[in-house]
Amino acid sequence: MDGFAGSLFPDMESKNVAPVARKKTLKEKLAEKEAELQEMNQKYAELQKENEKLKQKAEAFDELLTSESLFPTNIVAKSFGWSAIKLNQYLHDKKIQYKHGDVWVLYQQYANRGYTREMWYNYGRRNDVGKDLHRAHTYWTMKGIMFIRELLKRDGQITD
């Protein structure tokens, strides 16, 4: 037999000829496509679960940002492991706030962004004129706290 193949097809003996790839049957192609579809459906289901989790987080974050809660600077500073004095000085050095009397106030560039609110409180009474004494105090909103967090992260003061 070798002699016969050798005489009719002399090139086959000297070269390694790869066998011709067998064509896949329609049934095999269909089975492959079904496996691909099943894999894609599984990935889609995973992405849907992940999307739902992210959606819930985004909604919670939005709710937090629009919250009416206010926080004094010492509480905000403690959340970053700082003192209120250090945080106020940092914000002053960044040209975000300045001190007006006893109260820290945002520069105009930041004043109308919803980062803080000033609240007035009664700290006593002046009996000689019969009037209450009031003082302003600056409180941070969640939006303001997130602003501070981004500043600190950008400056490498905190990691997240």
39 in a structural domain: yes
Residue 47 has pLDDT above 60, yes or no: yes
User: What is each CA distance from 54 to 49, 59, 114, in whole angstroms?
Assistant: 9, 9, 25
- 106-157 tens-digit pLDDT: 999 999 999 999 998 888 888 888 888 888 899 999 999 999 999 999 999 9
**Boundaries of domain holding 45:** 31-66
CA nearest neighbour of 143 among 54, 53, 94, 71: 71
User: Considering its fold, how many domains does the chain have in total?
Assistant: 2
Out of 66, 85, 115, pick the residue that ends a domain: 66
DSSP class of 21: P
Same domain, 51 and 90: no
Same domain membership, residue 117 and residue 77? yes
Side-by-side strand order, sheet with 116-126:
71-72, 131-140, 116-126
Q: Which of 109, 99, 91 is nearest to 149 (CA)?
A: 91
- Domain edge (last residue) among 39, 66, 93: 66
For residues 48 and 85, state if they share a domain. Answer: no
Distance between CA atoms of 137 and 104, rounded to whole angstroms?
Answer: 8
If you compute the radius of gyration of the chain from its CA atoms, what whole number of angstroms results? 36
Do 104 and 81 share a structural domain? yes
Whether residues 75 and 123 fall in one domain:
yes
Strands 116-126 and 131-140, bridge-based pairing: antiparallel
Q: Both 58 and 90 in a single domain? A: no
Q: Give the pLDDT confidence of 68-102 residue by residue, as tens digits.
A: 889 999 999 999 999 999 999 999 999 999 999 98
- The predicted-structure confidence for 1-30, as pLDDT tens digits, reads as follows 555 555 555 555 555 656 667 788 989 999
Q: What is the DSSP string of 99-112?
A: EETTEEEE-HHHHT
